[in-house]
Amino acid sequence: MSRLDAKTTVERVIGVVLLLVAALGPQLFNDYWLDVILTQALLLGIAAASLIFLSAYGGMVSLAQTALMGIAGYMLGNMVTQSGPGGESKGLVLGWDPTLALVLAIVITSVIGLIFGALASRSFGIYFLMLTLTYAVIANLFFGSVTQFGGFSPIAGVNEYTPSFVGDIATDRDRLYYIALAVSAVVYVLIRYMTRTPFGIAFAGIRDEPVRMASLGYAVPLHRMLAFGFAAFIASLAGILYVWWNGQIAPQDMGLGPTIDLLIIAVIGGLGRIEGAWIGAFAFIVINNYVVNWVPTGGLPVVGGRFNTIIGLVFLTIVIVSPDGLTGLWDRIWDRARRRGGPPQVEVETREAAMGTSSS
């Protein structure tokens, strides 16, 4: 371990304070804030963390994470809901044991992630982005058109069937909040741990020097495939939480809009650091939530349109001003304040530029 510098200390203090605030959440915030803003930020943060993990440590910007979330949600929804007095549900209505369904949903999504990853493992940079975007749109259209799995209308009431160790989350929203918080913490630690394992270090090496790593004997496509599967596993956790939080799952939940929203979250937070996932999710949801109320019903003054124009403009500004997001801004402020040698921060743009030159 290297010595702790001032920045790391400050970051850790902030982290502990935030964790304490989060742990006391139900006492500090009203129900609306807790359920709509904080729980949603936590679960979208988990999904964004899977995106940022791939991007920061693998140079792979994936747009398929929302689709993987949706796939997990659909698997759970199809396996767990029952037809009966609660009303006929859409989909397969298998009515399986919730614990079994939960495990199966996560496993199936991870396997689908491995298949996606195997196919994309030899695509780099912008090609990878395009390929994962096609995954996302195909998954969306698939669940929109295949009526056996639910079709165009949502599978509802999924959160009524939860394993006993999860308990009643449909009405006890504080419980769901704590689950989301716990899963977030576990995911954060898991990703941090993953990046320190030999696998994680090799993965980061492949990001910087794929040719060198290949000639050193590392199976480059295999590492990228496995990392994508790992990210799919994390995204599936977010997907399960999402469907518990939302109560239902529909093709629209994995459409182009939510896909881009997740990318916006990751970019606001910063594609270079895992912490950015939750920061970005929180910022995005707060902006989203308050801009909606701020926009009059007839559309925005002057430009017309709805709140998405504002979201788009915020996104555009961040990409232009600080392409590595809020965490990148934070890093740069510290760098500028200190002006010491230190290891240089890896920025998204420089890495992309490096990839551009090495591929030509």
Binding site for another protein (CB under 8 A): 61, 119-120, 122-123, 125-127, 129-131, 133-135, 137-138, 141-142, 145-148, 210-211, 214, 220-221, 255-256, 260, 263, 267, 299-300, 303-309, 311-313, 315-316, 319-320, 323, 348-349, 352-353, 355-360
Cα distance between residue 160 and residue 316, in whole Å: 40
The CA-CA-CA angle for residues 125, 127, 132, to 5°, reads: 100
Question: Which is closer to another protein, CB of 99 or CB of 308?
Answer: 308
**Residues 6+ away with beta carbon under 8 Å from 257:** none
Cα distance between residue 57 and residue 255, in whole Å: 26
Which amino acid type is present at position 111? Answer: V
DSSP state, residue 39: I
Q: What are 78's two structure tokens? A: 């199809």
Question: Which is closer to another protein, CB of 84 or CB of 299?
Answer: 299
Q: How far is the CB of 175 from another protein (least distance, A)?
A: 35
Q: Which among 89, 56, 66, 11 is positioned nearest to 271, based on CA atoms? A: 56
Q: Which residues of 309-319 are buried (b: 16+ CB within 10 A; e: fewer)?
A: ebbeebbeebe
How many other β-carbons are positioned within 10 Å of the β-carbon of residue 207?
22
Q: Which among 62, 51, 46, 63 is positioned nearest to 282, based on CA atoms? A: 46
Question: Which is closer to another protein, CB of 157 or CB of 224?
Answer: 224
Question: Which is closer to another protein, CB of 74 or CB of 161?
Answer: 74
Q: Please state the φ and ψ torsions of residue 78, each to the nearest 5 degrees.
A: -70, -35
Q: How far is the CB of 151 from another protein (least distance, A)?
A: 8
Question: Which is closer to another protein, CB of 38 or CB of 225?
Answer: 225
Q: How far is the CB of 240 from another protein (least distance, A)?
A: 24
Q: How far is the CB of 309 from another protein (least distance, A)?
A: 4
Question: Which is closer to another protein, CB of 155 or CB of 240?
Answer: 155
Q: How far is the CB of 145 from another protein (least distance, A)?
A: 5
Question: Which is closer to another protein, CB of 289 or CB of 309?
Answer: 309
Question: Which is closer to another protein, CB of 143 or CB of 161?
Answer: 143
The CA-CA-CA angle for residues 81, 87, 89, to 5°, reads: 40
Q: What are 315's two structure tokens? A: 């996104």
Q: How far is the CB of 80 from another protein (least distance, A)?
A: 22
Q: What are 349's two structure tokens? A: 């743009």
Q: How far is the CB of 230 from another protein (least distance, A)?
A: 20
> Which residue reads 């304070």 in tokens?
17
Question: Which is closer to another protein, CB of 192 or CB of 212?
Answer: 212
How many other β-carbons are positioned within 10 Å of the β-carbon of residue 211?
10
DSSP state, residue 249: B
Q: What are 194's two structure tokens? A: 């993953």
Q: How far is the CB of 234 from another protein (least distance, A)?
A: 21
Cα distance between residue 350 and residue 334, in whole Å: 19
Cα distance between residue 65 and residue 48, in whole Å: 8
Question: Which is closer to another protein, CB of 237 or CB of 348?
Answer: 348
Q: How far is the CB of 220 from another protein (least distance, A)?
A: 6
